[in-house]
Amino acid sequence: MFRWMLSFAPLLLFMPTLAHAHGARIEYVANEAVVVTITATYDSGTPMRDAQVIIYTPSDPVNAWLTGMTDHAGVFQFVPDVTQAGQWEVVVRQAGHGGTVYVPISADQVSGAATVQAQGSSNPMSPMQTALMGASVVWGFVGTALYFSRRRTA
Amino acid sequence: MITSRWVSAVLGVVLFLGACGGTPAAPDTPAPLAAPSPQPAPPSVGTLEVRANGEDFVREGFVTKDGWAIQFDHVYVTLTNLTAHQTNPPFDALSNSRLEAQVSVSLAGVHTVDLAEGDADAEPILIGTTPAPAGRYNALSWDMIKATSGAAQGAVLMLVGTASKDGTDLPFTIRLEQESSETCGDFIGDERKGILEDGGIAQLEATFHFDHLFGDGDAAPDDEINTGALGFEPFARLARNGRVDVDQEAIQAGFSAAELALLEELHLPHVGEGHCRTDARTAGR
């Protein structure tokens, strides 16, 4: 029997900033990432050392997004792609025994504006619906213009 | 002129909208063909195959934690109420949470299967198939009950084979009679199972880990699989006239309290390597 412990450890990962002193505009980019820490132990508390770890994204439960091994303490860390919000599956297997933990990843877990915006759209329409609506509006203007121009030439 | 143009335009728009608004046709006007009402798309359906697997331990034999080489002739298990579920949140068999299924599909009937059937390379035993809505079946539940007929009559699980150690061959028949309800999460194994696409076939598997009962001689004595296993020695001790033939009553009478406690704690049913929650069977499930 296995017991699973799961912890989330938010960790800021800042990219090094490039600085040019001769009047150049200085900018920096900071990436903030969520680091997920998986700890796998047996009921006895013994760590599952060197166990196989397989990670699936919410959108693809068939093909592994990442594979790896736990360390000597039964620990495995990974940085999920936070643009893929939902339940991430982490499967840990060893010697014919295994278990799954489900890690909920949401845009709220990062404060990077771009990521939040990408995940936080409130537009209820699909891109196709948006395109159709835009085309209809354009066609309305064109149709009206054609109507009046025809009346003038008549 | 501008005024008349605007009046004409507005009038035209009004007439156009009126036409679009579905003004009733005059009685002598042939009714226009009604536009075909949109038909709901047929539901996506595939086929679920439910299998039972005793793993290589049953098909090939193995050495127990206490050095008995086991070969099985038959391993009968009787199952009913086999039900595949699409659950969200995913069911965690190690928690006390309820299984929350959005879709459940059951396999009718009572099924006694012989997990030792076939050779060492045999496929897991097919219990049955059923049409099912497409989706991801990430939980499986079933009841283990006593067989009411056949070779395993009266037993939930019946093991028949030969145990060998130090030149002694000990034929055995072990009948376990404790009924239970098993509720399991997602299958865990070398491949993903239970993902059913429209028109496709997906498998689910009830897996039975007999190394949990007897231990595994290939693993270290202090390995988790052996420290929690009973081994074969307690059964060998109950041999009479060169064979072991025991049922639940004989086990209760012949095992020590510690051995009985260990037997009580064992969980043979799994889904691949994934866990199941075992409950005392309740009528009606």
Q: What is the pLDDT of residues B124-174, one digit of tens each?
A: 999 999 999 999 999 999 999 999 999 999 999 999 999 999 999 999 999
Q: pLDDT at position B18, please?
A: 34
Of the partner residues A4, A98, A102, the one whose CB lies closest to the CB of residue B188? A98
Cα separation, B4 vs B10, whole angstroms: 10
Cβ-based contacts of A41 with chain B (< 8 Å): none
| Segment (H or E) for A127 | helix A127-153
Neighbour order of strands in the sheet with A97-105: A66-69, A52-56, A86-94, A97-105
CA-based nearest residue in chain A for residue B226: A1
Which value does ipTM take for this structure? Answer: 0.75
Cβ-based contacts of B224 with chain A (< 8 Å): 1, 42-44, 46
Cα separation, A154 vs B8, whole angstroms: 14
Residue spans per domain, chain A: 2-122, 124-154
pLDDT at A29 over 60: no
Residues of A with CB under 8 A from a CB of B: 1-4, 42-44, 46, 61-62, 87, 89, 91, 93, 95-100, 102, 147-148, 151
Average pLDDT, chain B: 88
Sorted by sequence, the CB contacts under 8 Å of residue B265 that are 6+ apart come out as B228
> Is B26 part of a structural domain of the chain?
no
Could you read off the pLDDT of A92-141 as tens digits, one per residue?
998 887 888 888 888 665 433 222 222 222 233 333 333 444 444 444 44
> Is B56 part of a structural domain of the chain?
yes
> Is B40 part of a structural domain of the chain?
no
pLDDT at B61 over 50: yes
pLDDT at A45 over 60: yes
3-state class (DSSP) for residue B25? coil
Of the partner residues A44, A62, A89, the one whose CB lies closest to the CB of residue B224? A44
> Is B246 part of a structural domain of the chain?
no
Domain that residue B92 falls in: 45-208+268-280
Number of domains chain B is built from: 1
> Is B104 part of a structural domain of the chain?
yes
CB contact under 8 A, B94 and A98: no
CB contact under 8 A, A98 and B5: no
Binning chain A into helix, strand and coil, the percentages to the nearest 5 are 25, 40, 35
Sorted by sequence, the CB contacts under 8 Å of residue B146 that are 6+ apart come out as B78, B153, B154, B155, B156, B177, B179
Confidence of residue B44 (pLDDT cuts 50, 70, 90): very high
Could you read off the pLDDT of B231-267 as tens digits, one per residue?
999 999 999 999 999 999 999 999 999 999 999 989 9
Of the partner residues A1, A87, A100, the one whose CB lies closest to the CB of residue B188? A100
Reported CATH class of domain A2-122: mainly beta
**Residue range A35-63: average pLDDT?**
90
Cα separation, B113 vs A46, whole angstroms: 36
Of the partner residues B188, B209, B228, the one whose CB lies closest to the CB of residue A91? B188
Confidence of residue B24 (pLDDT cuts 50, 70, 90): very low
Q: pLDDT at position B49, please?
A: 98
> Is B98 part of a structural domain of the chain?
yes
**Residue range B261-277: average pLDDT?**
93
For tokens 């047929």, the residue is: B42
